[in-house]
Chains A and B, each alone.
Chain A
Amino acid sequence: MDWSNTELYQLTTAIGTSASFAWLPSTRPFLQASRGNTMMQNIYQNPTGFAQQNALDKRVKISVKGWQNATRQDLVSFVSRKTRIGIVDSTVEGNLVVGFVNSQTEAQSLLNWNGVRFAGNALKFEILGSGTGDAGTSKTIVLLKSFLFKRYSPQAKMLDLGNLRNDPDLATNGLFSSQTTQSKIFPAMMKLASKESQLVVESVNLSDNELRDLNMISCLAQTYPNLKNLCLANNQISRFRALEVWKNKFKHLRELLMMNNPITAEPLYQSEILRLFPRLVILDNVVVRDEAKLQQVFSIPMKLQQFFFENNELGQSSLEFVSNFLTLWDTNRSQLMPLYTPQSQFSVAVDSSVPASSVPNADQNPTFGYYLPLSRNLTKVSSERTKQQRLAMGQEDIDKIFKSIPKTKHFLQEQASSYSLEAFSYAQVQGFTITLHGYFDEVAHPDVDANKSTSNSAGGRNRRFNHGHANTTNKLTRKSFDRTWVIVPSQGTVIIASDLLNIRSYVDGSWIPQQQVQEPLVQGQSPAPPLGPQPVQPMPPAPLQPVVPGAPATAMPAAPLTLPAEVQAKLNPIQLDLLNRLHQQTKLNAEFTYMLADQSGWNFDVAMKGFQESVNNIPREAFV
């Protein structure tokens, strides 16, 4: 019986389905296991012993009362027949039959059979053992986790996974006992590593692992797609085909070491490797690409900025204008009318192209039902009459189109980083243009549905869109947009000469830094109070506050311990108290405190002992 194989399988499936593994309580079986399981201490103190014990661990000890009118064998056969649950290794202890069932699940279902009649008596089942079916999984997790931290160097940002086979910890625990176990241990390790935010890894060493291909380690590319340095030296990799799984992966790999692999003798070795890793600069300690040139080829000198203003004054006034305009646009569009003159023009264009799925948060299935009858996208509209009709000139026309556009909510104040703006002068109109890129939520259907504007005269018949036209296409969603205003200052206020609105599928703006986590929007917030009849001037300056993308806050205050809310919710007060005491004593950060408590079976003394023994191996960033 190869226990570790099964355990690893459970581990991979358990982790695979758990959304937030780093904070373990979300994997409930794990937490249950660690609470009541005294075996945890055994691994901690006696790692060699637990491999053998483990096969038995999964079994659950049960007892049966009320069987005395028959033999033990009859009882076991009866239970097996009746409940389809086998009791093994059963013995008679006084008036009890004591035995084992295969798992906690089986033990639980056996309890449902309490009171079943057997040989004239009602049987009573009880669970004696406290082990659970997932105990082994959690042990393996703990083992691999501590192994990962042991092999991680925070200074070098390196994960040293060299020579795994001869690692004493892994070997003694039988993790390399068979071929199948070996093939699973690395994926399991990678899955664990990917959930550990503390493991900031730029370099991975996989030398001396007797690798013939990348099958076992191919998942490295999922865990560390931005890896910079990789060492595969002293392996048996001999064929290019083995490397193909990493094509288009590791786009930031800068250095690769492949010494002492048969593949390095191939004539096309260097060119093939260059083809596979587009940003590789150093191969086997030789510079193979000119880094400056590489940098130049893969970047655009015009670095993307969030804002451009021709001068500061224009910056201030255009931010005010946009902010005031959109406030009214969201709340009461007709109040915008004083800004338009009989010669002002407005039109909407729909860009219905769907962004690539690799664009962050791109809406792959946008609906433009309300806008399409208004759209003046000249690449799509061919009829001249339509082009003319869809250009609104003068307040009356403009107001009509405004009423046909879904009601919206922009998030200029709450989510300033989601908007980008350029403003510069426009000499010919003696004014300037402001272009805003960003997004809005559609919060309500428009006052006028442009799809229906032609249908009423015929009493509902003769509709233009009578072929499967359904209102379901008009669902309200989030959209991205680009809007350009041509503004002319005039007598202390401004007028809008031209207003061009482009609606497109929602995407995250390219100016938003990638690592920045999208905060949830505050939906319930009441909009800013509407402005007076002369909207542009009177509003006090409400400048945008561009959010500076800070590093994700990881630092934990020294005391008291702050745990993520979802973790805290799953802990009982005793556990919380234990965590706090451990934290005070050890100065470990929240996650490590939790790990320590967890590994020691929530026993303070065991935890402190374990901490003192391993204090020298704990990485620096484990401490606050």
Chain B
Amino acid sequence: MNNQSQAVDGFIKKVFAFLDEKNSQQLAPFLQCFDPANSKIIVNANPFAQPAVFLETWQRAVVQTQHVLTGLDYHVIPGTGTTICSVNGKVRFDESGRDKEGQDSAITEITGAGNAGVGPRAPAAKPRPLWGPYFGISLQIVLDDRVFNGDHNCVIHSFNYTTVYKPDDSLMSV
């Protein structure tokens, strides 16, 4: 039993870490966690047909995030080989105006020689994220019982991620 709840807790934290991942190279193992044929993915009540489409959208069109786990409960449904988890958390977004690639929307226009001293931002300096206020999320996730043995391959059967509250001082619109 001990192992069971630790396994769930560990896996959910891993999911959050994947969602917060900035480097798209690191996401291949996350894709492998989803059942490729039958997994249902719903984000803010929008369904995704394919896990790959969801991950690609998340990677390309959502800025860097930071998830915190605040609540977790689960039920093993007997005779089905699956477990349903109810997860609550909070998430904040990088509101610096840069996407995960570090690109921002500013039009870098060199306005003649007067600007030479300032120049474009040094690319070497890694921009740090400017975290906005926390949003609340609720996640229901159906997992294969193999997750209790540490097997994370194709274990996510469904993934229902919903933003349940939003601060009004955030720059993000959901």
Contact = CB atoms under 8 A, between A and B. Distances in A.
Contacts of B164: 420, 437, 480, 482, 507, 509-510
Interface in A375-412: 376-379, 384, 387-388, 391
A289 B105 contact: yes
A267 B114 contact: yes
Nearest to B5: A378
Highest count of chain A CB atoms <10 Å: which of B71, B73, B97, B99: B73
Interface in A430-471: 433, 435, 437
A359 interface: yes
A504 interface: yes
A69 to B, nearest CB: 71
Nearest to B138: A482
Contacts of B90: 353, 355
A379 B171 contact: no
A159 interface: no
B148 to A, nearest CB: 14
A507 B88 CA distance: 14
Interface stretch (B17-25, B26-34, B128-136): B128-136
Contact of B1 (A268, A290, A305, A384): A384
B86 A359 contact: no
Interface stretch (A106-114, A296-304, A585-593): A296-304
B124 interface: no
A219 B50 CA distance: 49
B149 interface: no
A240 interface: no
Interface stretch (A206-214, A421-429, A610-618): A421-429
A27 B88 CA distance: 46
Contact of B46 (A293, A299, A303, A355): A303
Given A359-B165, A377-B72, A498-B75, A305 B45 contact: yes
Interface stretch (A86-94, A185-193, A341-349): A341-349
A510 B165 contact: yes
B173 A299 contact: yes
Interface residues of A, number: 78
Interface in A495-540: 497-498, 500, 502, 504, 507-510, 514
Interface in B131-174: 133-136, 138, 140, 142, 157-158, 160, 162-174
Q: Which of A251, A297, A343, A349 has the most chain B CB atoms closer than 10 A to its own CB?
A: A297
Contacts of A126: none
A300 B174 contact: yes
A299 B8 CA distance: 31
A396 to B, nearest CB: 17
Contacts of B70: 351-353, 379
Contacts of B98: 297
Contacts of B9: 378-379
A328 interface: no
B40 interface: yes
Contact of A435 (B57, B99, B111, B138): B138
Contacts of B5: 378, 384, 387
Interface-centre pick from B62, B114, B135, B165 (highest chain A CB count, 10 A)? B165
* Residue from B9, B164, B168 having most chain A Cβ neighbours under 10 A: B164
Interface string A247-281: 01001000000000000000110110010001100
Contact of B172 (A300, A376, A480): A300
A350 B71 CA distance: 7
Given A267-B115, A502-B138, A301 B75 contact: no
Contact of A429 (B1, B40, B77, B160): B77
A349 B172 contact: no
Of A391, A482, A498, A508, which is in contact with the most chain B CB atoms at under 10 Å from its CB? A482
B122 interface: no
A294 interface: yes
B15 interface: no
A271 B42 CA distance: 39
B172 A358 contact: no
B78 to A, nearest CB: 6
A428 B138 contact: no
B55 interface: no
Contacts of A362: 165
B60 to A, nearest CB: 9
Contact of A359 (B44, B115, B167): B167
Contacts of B103: 293
Nearest to A498: B75
Nearest to B117: A267
Given A437-B138, A497-B77, A502-B138, A482 B105 contact: no
Nearest to A343: B78
Interface in A357-375: 358-360, 362
A324 B114 CA distance: 71
Contacts of A480: 164-165
Contact of A349 (B38, B46, B72, B82): B72
Contact of B73 (A303, A308, A347, A427): A347
B105 A359 contact: no
A287 B107 contact: yes
B102 to A, nearest CB: 11
B44 A302 contact: yes
A360 B61 CA distance: 26
Contacts of A509: 164-165
Contact of A300 (B1, B75, B80, B173): B173
Nearest to B40: A424
Given A303-B174, A356-B134, A288 B71 contact: no
Nearest to B81: A428
Contact of A504 (B71, B135, B162, B174): B71
Contacts of A352: 70
A388 B1 contact: yes
B69 interface: yes
B13 to A, nearest CB: 10
A279, A379, A486, A508: most-surrounded residue (chain B CB, <10 A): A379
* 3 A-B pairs with least C-beta separation: A351-B71, A305-B45, A308-B45
Given A301-B62, A498-B77, 18 more contacts: A296-B61, A301-B57, A304-B174, A310-B47, A356-B167, A377-B72, A429-B80, A433-B84, A433-B158, A435-B160, A486-B84, A500-B73, A500-B74, A500-B75, A500-B84, A507-B136, A510-B163, A514-B168
8 contacts: A287-B107, A290-B106, A355-B167, A358-B167, A359-B165, A359-B166, A359-B167, A377-B72
